[in-house]
Each structure stands twice: as structure tokens, then as C-alpha cells.
Chain A
């Protein structure tokens, strides 16, 4: 019994990563003894920093194409031989190039990703033959998904430039290969790159990164934009595919307040038990078939918090939006047991996110450029510190001008004043 206890304690203690500077590149690794390893190169090359709309999206799709070391085909075939998985993903702030592989294959995969960062070829024919069709398909798919569209529009309304720029290339703005090349040249320098590893030893990873990124330019300036400002506003968009959608959001600038995670947990109507309604103030009044999701999107200098309301009919969505807005307004009076319950729920969400690889990477990515240490204890402690005063201060962001987006049949979907905003 005692031995079992001791081993859990050591697991927990290892559940954090120290950020080490390895020849100008920030490296963080967590090894929890998983059978596979994953290495993610995080580059400050998200849509926030792009010089022209859609360039970041194009750059993301150029990942794992030809480099000075190997062709696009060889990249795929060779990593298949090792049994690894390569993926690239784009967020508003970061471009993440990830690989997952069996333990012991790290020299190959670190070299593969860093060769793209240091010596990508950006062939014109690869752009037109492989990259452009994928960009087009992804943009089309995104434009058909009302929840994605609502969030894209909400970002644009909330932050305008910078964080407001869309993750997806627009069909109305041409991105040329020269744009992509020059964006890559400015973004891919050592100050902009951080390496995150899971299931890999910190020292091993640092050594590999130091060796393979030796030729990366260290002179370039790190990507930056003017600090985010919150504006808010309202927009309505006709759409004929997918459910009727309304997004009600509020933004805040500055580092993310942990009390917002508690607010999200307090409002989230998802039930903890199957076949039940859930105990959140929203879940009781929801019309059948409609759903409400809390959205909390933390960025390095701003946060977007909101409720995404979806349903098959515009009438149902209107009802649900009224219920959700009422719950949001009444959240400032949450006290005692209610608050403790929300804190516990937020703590569980934060902790269980760190079980999965994605969660660890998310947690690390928000802190790695700030050189902060990530530990589950610190996150949980910050949630524990949320008291009534802190909570009502966080709720006060709902007094700002709301970001209201309606996607669907706009004749019937509600206006902000109709739902009580």
C-alpha cells in the first residue's frame, strides 16, 4: 500500500517540465514513462503574425514538404518505415509541427522537423500540386461548419487585427508562394522556436535540438504584434448548412484569469452522469435538442470567453440564448457551495487534460515562451485561490460590450437585445 502510494507521488512530481534554453531555443520535456514519444516544434508563426491573410495557413500546409535533406515523398515514406506519425496544426499564435514515434527514434524525427525549419525548399510545383488543393479543401470545410465560422467571426469582432485574423485562407485574397517564403524566412528563427517533448528525456532532446537547429538563423527578430485590444460587436451571417448557431462572447486583455475557467465550469451544462440533465444553471431551461458549450480560449495577452449555442431551429436557439444570458448575468451572485462545486469541476478538467498528450502540449505551449514552469500543482493552486471576490471580478467581463455572432437563418435568429444582452 505504502509502496503504491510512493510511486503515485513520484509520478505526480514528474508531471511538470522545466524550460531550458538550448543554444537559443527553448526546450521543455516531460517523461511520464509512456511507451511512445512525441516531439512538437512550436513556432510563433500563427495567423496572428501573418503579414497577409491566409499566409500562415499556407505555411502550415507546406510542413513536411521537400527540404534540402529529403523530398516530400521520402519524408513520408521514411517516417512510415519508423512507424511515426507527422502532423501540423495551426493556432492563432503558434504553428505546431508534431511527430509521434516509438522511443529511440527521436534522432530521425527531430532532424526531420528541424530540416523543414532550416532548409525548406518551398517548390512552386509543390505549392500548386499539393499545398493549394489542401488549403482550398480546409477552407471550404471550415466555411461549411457554422461553429467554426461563428468562432472565426467572433475573433475578428473581438480583436480586429492580430488575434482577429482568420486561421483559414480566404478565397478572396490570393496568397503567393513568395508571401509564404518570406513569412517562413522571418518566422523561422531561433527566438521564435520552442521544442516540447513528451515521453522523452530533457537532456536527450536538448542535445538533439542543439545539433539539428545549429544552422537556424538566430539573428532574426522574434514575431510580435501590437498588444491585443478587446472591441466586441455584432454580426449575422446567412448560412444554409449545419445547425443554427449563436455565439455570445466576452473578451479580456492581459493574462488569463483562472476564475474564468471556474466560470466556464460553473456554466457548462454537460452532465457528469449519463442520462441526466446536469446541474448547471443553464441546463434546466434548455429546449430539447439545443446545446450550449462554454468556450474559453486563452491567448498570451488576451482571452475570449463565450457560450456557443446550437440547435436545429432558430426558435430553440433563441430560447437557449435567453437562458444562457440569464445564467451569465446571475453568475456574479454565485457563492459558497456553488462556487466550490465549480472550482472542483474546473480543477478536474484542468487535471484530466494533463493526462493526454494534447493537454500537456497545450499547457506547455501557453507558458514556454514566457519561460514559466508548468506544473499541475501550480495550475490547481491557482484555481483553488479563486474566491468569491476573484470570481465576481472575472464575471465582470460580461459588463463589457459583448461579441455577438449569429450564423444560420438570420431572419429568425435573435438579436442581442432580444436575449437580454
Chain B
């Protein structure tokens, strides 16, 4: 299993009916998780202790890396205070983008490609 963990999302997204039924539940659940109340994005919760994620973090633009550090700092502060942010400062669901996931996917693909080249057998045509 890789850094991103198993996901049913691609399968659910591929079926229109499933998507229609699951989407509201997913939206409700994402809101319920509470990270947005601490000002975090979903990708800020990504487990950092993976080589793939570390490499992906290095690929963020300076702006993205700064914003991420800032959000985590705010969230830790709110955690110390045992209080979420005031409602007007909650993260807007529209801003909850996957800024890190594409980089992690790229890194995983690169590692898989390297493994494939390492273990390939050559057949001369």
C-alpha cells in the first residue's frame, strides 16, 4: 500500500448513480471531520512520514509550502486553545483543494516506473 492508502473514490466517481448517492454523504462527512474548522485543508492531514510524501512536499511551490506551514501553525495554536476558529475563519469548502495529492501520485508513479525498469526482462525482436 502506498502513501495515499486505498481509495474507492475512482470507482464511485466512474458510476453516475453511485456518485449521486455518495456525494452528499461525502460532503457531509468531510465537513463533520472538523479539520476545516481548524483552518486546514484535507491534504494538510496527509501522513508526512512517508518518503513519497516527503518528496512531494519538496515539489510544492514556495507559496504553497508557506501557506501549508501557516495553516498548520494556526491549527496547532487552536489545538492548544482547545477551540476551533471563529466561524467566519473556517476554511471554505471550495478552497479545500488537493494541492499535494497530484505530486504524491507523480512520485508513486516514478517509483513504480523505476521498479519496472529495474525488474524488466529484455527481449530482442
User: Contact residues of A with B, CB < 8 Å?
Assistant: 71, 73-74, 77, 81, 124-125, 128-129
Contact = CB atoms under 8 A, between A and B. Distances in A.
Contact of A74 (B61, B103, B106, B113): B113
B83 interface: no
Main secondary structure of the interface of B (DSSP, over half): helix
B122 interface: yes
Interface string B16-31: 0000000000000000
Contacts of A81: 122
A270 B114 CA distance: 50
B59 interface: yes
> For B103, B117, B122, which residue has the most chain A Cβ atoms within 10 angstroms?
B117
Given A71-B110, A73-B110, A81-B122, A125 B59 contact: yes
Contacts of A128: 58-59
A125 B60 CA distance: 9
Nearest to A125: B59
B34 to A, nearest CB: 32
Nearest to B109: A71
A181 to B, nearest CB: 15
Interface in B93-125: 103, 106, 110, 113-114, 117, 122
Closest 8 CB pairs of A and B: A125-B59, A77-B117, A73-B113, A73-B114, A81-B122, A71-B113, A73-B117, A74-B113
B114 A124 contact: no
Contacts of B117: 73-74, 77
Contacts of A71: 110, 113
Nearest to B107: A125
Interface in B47-69: 58-59, 61
A409 B35 CA distance: 63
> For A73, A74, A125, A128, which residue has the most chain B Cβ atoms within 10 angstroms?
A125
19 contacts: A71-B110, A71-B113, A73-B110, A73-B113, A73-B114, A73-B117, A74-B113, A74-B117, A77-B117, A81-B122, A124-B59, A124-B61, A125-B58, A125-B59, A125-B103, A125-B106, A128-B58, A128-B59, A129-B58
A75 to B, nearest CB: 11
A133 to B, nearest CB: 13
A74 B112 CA distance: 12
A73 B113 CA distance: 8
Given A73-B110, A128-B59, 6 more contacts: A71-B110, A71-B113, A81-B122, A124-B59, A124-B61, A125-B106
Nearest to B117: A77
Contacts of B103: 125
Contacts of B122: 81
Contacts of B113: 71, 73-74
Nearest to A126: B59
B108 to A, nearest CB: 13
A377 B33 CA distance: 81
B39 to A, nearest CB: 27
A74 B110 CA distance: 10
A124 B106 CA distance: 12
Contacts of A124: 59, 61
B113 to A, nearest CB: 6
A306 to B, nearest CB: 44
A146 B106 CA distance: 42
Contacts of B114: 73
A139 B47 CA distance: 38
A73 B114 CA distance: 7
A344 B106 CA distance: 60
B74 to A, nearest CB: 27
Nearest to A70: B113
A131 to B, nearest CB: 14
A247 to B, nearest CB: 41
A125 B56 CA distance: 9
Contacts of A77: 117
Contacts of B59: 124-125, 128
A66 to B, nearest CB: 10
A89 B58 CA distance: 29
B120 to A, nearest CB: 8
Contacts of A129: 58
A128 B56 CA distance: 12
A153 B91 CA distance: 55
A167 B68 CA distance: 38
A144 to B, nearest CB: 29
